[in-house]
Structure 1
Amino acid sequence: MTQETALKILKTGRNVFITGSAGSGKTHLVRKYISWLDEQNIKVGVTASTGIAATHMNGITIHAWSGIGIKDHLTQSEISHIAEKSYLKNRIKKTEVLIIDEVSMLHDYRLDMVDAVVREIKGDDRPFGGMQVVLVGDFFQLPPIGRRETDPEIWQEEKMSEFVYHSRAWRSLDLAICYLSEQYRQEDKEFVDILNSIRSQEVDEKIKTKLQKKIVKEIDTDTIHTQLFARNINVDKINNEELNKIEGEELVYYMENTGPDALVSILEKSCLAPSVLRLKEGAKVMFVKNNYDLGFVNGTQGVVRKCDKKNIYVETKDGDMIEVERMDWTIEDDGKVKAKVSQYPLRLAWAITIHKSQGMSLDSALIDLRDSFEKGMGYVALSRLRSLSGLHLLGINDKAFALHEEAFSYDAKWQEESSLLSGMIESMNDSDLEEAQEDFVRSASSKYKEKKKDTKELTLEMLLEGKDLKEIAKERNLTLSTILEHTEYWKENDPSINIYHLRKMLPVTAWKNIWSAFQKVGIVDGHRPLRPVMEVLKNKYSYEDLRIVRLFL
């Protein structure tokens, strides 16, 4: 199916599953659809199963969007408790379209949990409370990772029932299948043929020979920015070797914990941050937790520019300098913290696991597939690259070519369903298709809803469109102070709201000076006052400047 046909289907309001090979333009199609929804004033929730995937579309994780967090199960009491949170009610009640990217990495029970929360909040027993649901992904990727309750170096064999298409919610959606057939990421036809041969499970000796020619004995790691390995033990070995090559003082940061040993042990095993973090200035690192306010998510990469006993500064690939603080991982019961671990959300990242690479697009990589043990692993690793010339292999085994049999069977079924649907859409009269699209717009667009929007809601919509405070004030003919009041209201009621773009309103130096002044003054009577900060800064900046920075504290 072409992107054009898939877009026509999306605009009718059908629940849709968008799939296709790596580089087939799934994310590009979704971005086009989001733009159309914005033009129609249809509220869309943009989410993904992982933080790094969510950043591709300026969204948040489905766990944060729905309020389910990382729980594996929700009781009815817990669902009701989540549904009482005002910021979640405000967000979900107004959402007419929910998009979940990289859905293949989402467990089946978690999609069921999201469905239950949305139905509860909307007070509507239809699937997902009657909103349009758009699922995006490729099940030839790796399956969801289970909890590492035993050996953290080796993944447990995944049961196929954990793939999300086995969930009750998936079955209830009556999804239209849009299987994209065009190729966009790889411009190298030879490489596309190799990937397609793995995808179709028709890897012959000719394909194997081509890959064998990419095996290298020596490699200049200075020119290869990413190394991918199957197991954590290999990743740790490479990262420690690279760290030892850097001259300079090594700083060691230990994980802190509170709570019963058994619960702390569970947190330490499931937490991606290491118990002992070793760093030097110049070390390549990756963030392992989401913090949208500070501008990083699980998977964001960067370089340590400064570190001492208390402070770590990381420069991301985008050039942003982030002061990294300790973050907490907790186990809660009925709203009470039973156990907690605290660590800087970083780990060394000259090398990363293949599973962690999902969602990335790389110009070059050094990949070791000699130790492939999970079906789909070879396809995921190779399809991260844009061309064959960027591929450097340490080796490859036959299991690297294998795919999950059930996913392969489902994929064939989806291709057939997509082909039939494509033919049906192309044979429809334009007037019938346009009528279906108009019906959807009338039912979902805020333009056709009688209730007048609250002034704060209008500000929120413009914030989520990426507009800064001055632009909003000008368009709405309001003062900057008023728009700041609205923004402070939403930030207080919805801590996960993505307003990171507002950081660009101030020069880096101004931002650092104001941030440092706030840290110096600290919290007074439960809030952060402006006047003492202004005195520290000797009236160098405006109160509006201070309030902008305070949004991120």
Structure 2
Amino acid sequence: MENNPELQLAWQFIENTGTHLFLTGKAGTGKTTFLRRLREQSPKRMVVLAPTGIAAINAGGVTIHSFFQLSFAPFVPDTTLNSAQIHYRINKEKRNIIRSMDLLVIDEISMVRADLLDAVDATLRRYRDREKPFGGVQLLMIGDLQQLAPVVKDNEWEMLRHYYETPYFFASRALRETTYMTIELEKVYRQSDTFFLSLLNKIRENKADDEVLNELNKRYQRDFQPPKEEGYIRLTTHNNQAQRINDRELASLPGKAYSFRAEVKDDFPEYSYPADEVLTIKEGAQIM
């Protein structure tokens, strides 16, 4: 970070001002490392949240919904917070955390819908300063708008489109009342191969031409079957695809299947589980 002017600037903004900050940049530019260092070294009292269970675990925080006790119903502006958006009353300990925090960090902000950010604003105003966006707390939003998009069903958007130009977080009414800085990190630390980086960037920007596709297709091995002992991991686009492969591979193993049920402590909602509640394995199963 010492040699990166953008990261230094981001640090100074968080440490020395109350200005909201959107920290962005492609994969491997140091966003997660910045957050980790901030948590370790900043004197500010911060809460770290993320839109999904896995993202929250990666960020070392909890989900937005669980922290603010929000339901998954769309948050419709201009209606009271006594609507379906609030599950149940926030307990005294949580209220004290909300009132005393200096900085609210939201990781993977690209997945956060505008109405969810406004629900956060309404909850913060309820327990802090009613007159200020987000109750006067400083926001650090981290993410990459060219990665995961917000999930919004057609029937939800039919309701929300009357209030928002887009489902993305930056359409939030509360955020539009504020002035926030954007800092884009450009140096990629995760890859040093400049040719490979240029391929990734062209795909990222939807500029993949014949040259890019030819380079990728050169590496395609139509009949490739990874040796079992090599421990290859197959990437899929959807959970149900992964589940089919896992079930098939498990069924092909000889021997007895053993099932283990997860222990759930405290308030850990099912939608935030990082793995299946019941894990079934056999001897020789590949586990990541």
- Shared fold, TM over 0.5: yes
Which of 42, 45, 69 in structure 2 is aligned with 1:43?
45
Which of 97, 117, 124 in structure 2 is aligned with 1:118?
124
- What's the C-alpha RMSD, in Å, of the aligned pairs? 3.6
Asked if 1:220 is matched to 2:226, the reply is yes
TM-superposed deviation, 1:132: 0.5
Asked if 1:135 is matched to 2:151, the reply is no
Q: Which amino acid aligns with 2:29?
A: S
Q: Equivalent residue for 1:244?
A: 251
Asked if 1:98 is matched to 2:104, the reply is yes
CA distance in 2, matches of 1:161, 1:245: 47
Q: Aligned runs of 1:375-394 on 2, under 5 Å?
A: none
Q: Equivalent residue for 1:161?
A: 166
Q: Equivalent residue for 1:62?
A: 64
CA distance in 2, matches of 1:281, 1:247: 12
Unaligned 5+ residue runs, structure 2? 156-163
CA distance in 2, matches of 1:109, 1:29: 27
Q: Decide whether aligned partners of structure 1 residues 189 and 100 sit closer, same or farther in structure 2, where only a CA change above 3 A counts.
A: same
Q: TM-score, normalised by structure 1?
A: 0.43
Q: Decide whether aligned partners of structure 1 residues 230 and 204 sit closer, same or farther in structure 2, where only a CA change above 3 A counts.
A: same
CA distance in 2, matches of 1:215, 1:80: 49
Q: Which amino acid aligns with 2:72?
A: I
Q: Decide whether aligned partners of structure 1 residues 81 and 22 sit closer, same or farther in structure 2, where only a CA change above 3 A counts.
A: closer
TM-superposed deviation, 1:162: 1.7
Unaligned 5+ residue runs, structure 1? 150-158, 250-279, 308-314, 318-553
Asked if 1:197 is matched to 2:202, the reply is yes
TM-superposed deviation, 1:240: 2.9
Q: TM-score, normalised by structure 2?
A: 0.77
What is the SS of the residue equivalent to 1:190? Answer: helix
What is the SS of the residue equivalent to 1:92? Answer: helix
Q: Equivalent residue for 1:24?
A: 29
CA distance in 2, matches of 1:221, 1:161: 46
Q: Equivalent residue for 2:55?
A: 53
Per-residue deviation, residues 213-263 of structure 1 (Å, max 9, x unmatched): 2212213163354322234554343233212212245xxxxxxxxxxxxxx
Asked if 1:230 is matched to 2:237, the reply is yes
Contact 1:25 1:183 in 2 (8 A): yes
Q: Equivalent residue for 1:4?
A: 8
Asked if 1:281 is matched to 2:286, the reply is no
CA distance in 1, matches of 2:278, 2:91: 38
CA distance in 2, matches of 1:225, 1:91: 44
TM-superposed deviation, 1:292: 7.2
Per-residue deviation, residues 303-355 of structure 1 (Å, max 9, x unmatched): 94779xxxxxxx985xxxxxxxxxxxxxxxxxxxxxxxxxxxxxxxxxxxxxx
Q: Larger Rg: 1 or 2? A: 1
Asked if 1:298 is matched to 2:273, the reply is yes
What is the SS of the residue equivalent to 2:41? Answer: helix
TM-superposed deviation, 1:32: 2.2
Q: Which amino acid aligns with 1:202?
A: K
Q: Aligned runs of 1:501-540 on 2, under 5 Å?
A: none
TM-superposed deviation, 1:202: 2.7
Q: Which amino acid aligns with 1:35?
A: E
Q: Equivalent residue for 1:474?
A: none
Q: Equivalent residue for 1:109?
A: 115
TM-superposed deviation, 1:103: 1.0
Contact 1:83 1:89 in 2 (8 A): no
Q: Which amino acid aligns with 1:298?
A: Y
Contact 1:24 1:184 in 2 (8 A): yes
CA distance in 2, matches of 1:60, 1:80: 17
What is the SS of the residue equivalent to 2:110? Answer: helix
Does 1 or 2 have the higher relative contact order (CA < 8 Å, sep 6+)?
2
| % identity of equivalent residues | 29
Per-residue deviation, residues 447-469 of structure 1 (Å, max 9, x unmatched): xxxxxxxxxxxxxxxxxxxxxxx
CA distance in 2, matches of 1:182, 1:160: 32
CA distance in 1, matches of 2:236, 2:118: 32
Q: Which amino acid aligns with 2:190?
A: R
Q: Decide whether aligned partners of structure 1 residues 138 and 126 sit closer, same or farther in structure 2, where only a CA change above 3 A counts.
A: same
CA distance in 1, matches of 2:244, 2:253: 15
Q: Which amino acid aligns with 1:22?
A: A
Asked if 1:71 is matched to 2:77, the reply is no
CA distance in 2, matches of 1:201, 1:306: 40
TM-superposed deviation, 1:53: 1.6
